[in-house]
Chain A
Amino acid sequence: MSGGLDARITVLHPGGFHLDAELRLESGHTVAVLGPNGAGKSTLIAALAGLLPLHEGRVALGGRVLDDTELGVWVPPEERRLGIVHQDYLLFPTMSVLDNVAFGLRARGRARSAANRGARDLLAQLDLLQFAGRRPADLSGGQAQRVALARALATEPDMLLLDEPLAALDVTTRARLRHVLADRLAEFPGPRMLITHDPAEAFLLADQIYVLEDGAITQVGSPDDIRLRPRTSYAADLAGANLLVGVASAGEVLVGSHRLTIADTSAQGPVLATIHPRAISLHVVEPGGSPRNAWATSVTRIENYGDRVRVQTAGPLELTAEITPPALHALGIAVGDRIWLSIKATEVGVSAD
């Protein structure tokens, strides 16, 4: 597999929507396109898939030009060799699971027996062989998601495109499938693109994140860049949550060597802890009262977003707090200053990882 995806896309919708995006994906890397609903994520997929004409732009995959409005090049969807996992999977309801997975191979000219053999291999790898004869309607959400992944991988595409692959699943299934997905992504040799509105998904699965808002890319960076230095208020709001990976037991989460007290005493094992920046209080002296988590640290960065200020702190846990400009003024802190930070146990969100 040589070369990644190089895309410059301008799409004008008749309804007045405008998508303007430039993306560069390397082979063997996962890029997440993170954006709120209506930001143009589906439009981006349709444009890459060749299902929506570009108003202007150029798309090249592995050195092969798929779209070039200047040169008048347009490769039809069936020849683009993209493996797409659609948002609600779009498994063909009239076919069995096996036929769904074999569909791409047969469409590309394989004989039925060879296509079925290939599909069976892939189903076996994804632990789905026992569902081969079922109809998609008889699958659980998690099973359907894996079948959709198998169907996309079956044709050995040049690129993998995942549209909100976990959004339709319940919380526990989502955590389990995120690991399956991470493994599959790691094995896929070409560029892989993950489209999502869920920052946790983007942070955990992607090497690089593109933030898409109102049809335009507003920030490109590593997950840490986006998390610690969000450039827009959307990124700050959604992507700027504090996300910690740890192990829970008996009302505590062990993050690195730090113990964080949580309200949920039933959480056990690997978890994701999220703390909203607004849930973190800052104090110049040691706080009284009941916060279960309080420690002294120092200010590493202060960023002003107009109506709010994000204060980044140093270890033991590098967290970002969000306060109002008057509060910042009252605290009178600057970068390098010592500060106390407190979080109520109830403000630490915990979900199984």
Chain B
Amino acid sequence: MTRRRPPFVLAFLACVGAAFFVAPLLGLVARTPWSDLGEVLGREVVGDALRLSLVTSLGATIVALFLGLPLAWVLARFEFRGRALLRGLVLLPLVLPPVVGGAALLFTFGRRGALGGPLEDLTGLVLPFSIWGAILAASFVAMPFLVITVEGALRNLDQRYEGAAASLGASRWTVLRRVTLPMIGPSLVSGLLLTWARALGEFGATITFAGNLPGRTQTLPLAVFVAMEGDRDAAVAMSLLLVLVSLAVLVTLRNRWWGAR
């Protein structure tokens, strides 16, 4: 871009805008109890929340891989009636308030829900207020990230490569494993990372559908929310942890989403 100086008004407003992002981070760092950080992070409630957050976010990422990848594939490669509608519905959780998503999950998969009742009768599995419910809630809000990223990559992939591989004698499975997946690999990885990061930060749908049970469904964001009422030090420490994880994800994705120059 240009090397000229921006006009004063523009520069001033841009600085305010930047401060808007940077100041809260500095506020968080300033409030961090550095001296007892180790002790705070070692508390049981923090440890439980961290463990639950890792389990639910990784669980949601695995769900996204096994369900979101095929969904992206079908959306990218097949033409059928209602495809545009389906794509819209899949992307809805990106803009829907998560608490609404959680409520919808509860009405559907709750013990008296349309699917929850039969599911309990058949398998004895009760989703709401369980770790499975937390995983389901996180998947609901986070999977669209994987679907859009991978669908875009599959659309951009020149399908003639797959035809060339088939003509060389490769079965569908070999083509998928050795040609298609490696070629969309970077997009798949960034889709998985974004999904995981979104799942890690999930709050609204989780608290609505899976509740806020310490040691069972209380993930880090929920624990931060609760700790704000009493144990501020713990809230700050956990927030700092989430900030660092989010930053790490962004740094990992830097060449794909920002800072390309």
Taking CB atoms, residues of chain A closer than 8 Å to B163 are 46, 49, 51, 77
**Does A94 lie within 8 Å of B185, measured CB to CB?**
yes
Cα A92 to Cα B161 with chains together (Å): 7
**Does B167 lie within 8 Å of A78, measured CB to CB?**
yes
In-complex Cβ contact of B169 among A46, A93, A104 (8 A):
A104
Q: Report B155-166 CB contacts with A as 1/0, cut-off 8 Å.
A: 000101101111
Q: Which residue of B lies closest to A48 (CB)?
A: B167
In-complex Cβ contact of B165 among A46, A79, A80, A107 (8 A):
A107
**Stretch of B51-59, B90-98, B115-123, B174-182 that contacts chain A:** B174-182
**Does A80 lie within 8 Å of B179, measured CB to CB?**
no
In-complex Cβ contact of A92 among B169, B171, B179, B185 (8 A):
B179
Q: Is A108 an interface residue (CB 8 A)?
A: yes
Taking CB atoms, residues of chain B closer than 8 Å to A81 are 169
Q: Is B22 an interface residue (CB 8 A)?
A: no
Taking CB atoms, residues of chain A closer than 8 Å to B168 are 78, 103-104, 107, 151, 155
Q: Is A291 an interface residue (CB 8 A)?
A: no
Cα A50 to Cα B185 with chains together (Å): 27
CB distance from A65 to the nearest CB of B (A): 18
Interface size class of B (residues with CB under 8 A): 10 to 19
CB distance from A156 to the nearest CB of B (A): 11
CB distance from B160 to the nearest CB of A (A): 6
Q: Is B45 an interface residue (CB 8 A)?
A: no
**Does A80 lie within 8 Å of B167, measured CB to CB?**
yes
Q: Report A15-41 CB contacts with B as 1/0, cut-off 8 Å.
A: 000000000000000000000000000
CB distance from A81 to the nearest CB of B (A): 8
Main DSSP-derived SS at the B contact region: helix
Q: Is A326 an interface residue (CB 8 A)?
A: no
Question: Do A84 and B164 contact each other (CB < 8 Å), given the known contacts A93-B183, A94-B182, A103-B178?
Answer: yes
Q: Is A335 an interface residue (CB 8 A)?
A: no
Q: Is A82 an interface residue (CB 8 A)?
A: yes
**Does B183 lie within 8 Å of A107, measured CB to CB?**
no
Q: Is A90 an interface residue (CB 8 A)?
A: yes
Question: Do A78 and B171 contact each other (CB < 8 Å), given the known contacts A94-B183, A103-B178?
Answer: yes
Q: Is B170 an interface residue (CB 8 A)?
A: yes
B202-243, CB < 8 A from A? none
Cα A85 to Cα B166 with chains together (Å): 13
Taking CB atoms, residues of chain B closer than 8 Å to A104 are 168-170
Cα A46 to Cα B160 with chains together (Å): 10
CB distance from A310 to the nearest CB of B (A): 39
CB distance from B55 to the nearest CB of A (A): 32
Cα A272 to Cα B169 with chains together (Å): 39
Taking CB atoms, residues of chain B closer than 8 Å to A78 are 166-171
**Does B178 lie within 8 Å of A49, measured CB to CB?**
no
Cα A77 to Cα B179 with chains together (Å): 16
A68-94, CB < 8 A from B? 76-82, 84, 86, 90, 92-94
Taking CB atoms, residues of chain B closer than 8 Å to A103 are 165, 168, 170, 178
Cα A227 to Cα B80 with chains together (Å): 49
**Does A107 lie within 8 Å of B171, measured CB to CB?**
yes
Closest 4 CB pairs of A and B: A104-B168, A107-B170, A77-B166, A94-B182
Instruction: Show 16 residue pairs from A and B whose CB-CB distance is below 8 angstroms, ordered by the A residue.
Output: A77-B163, A77-B166, A77-B167, A78-B166, A78-B167, A86-B164, A92-B164, A92-B178, A92-B179, A93-B183, A94-B179, A95-B178, A95-B182, A107-B165, A107-B170, A155-B168
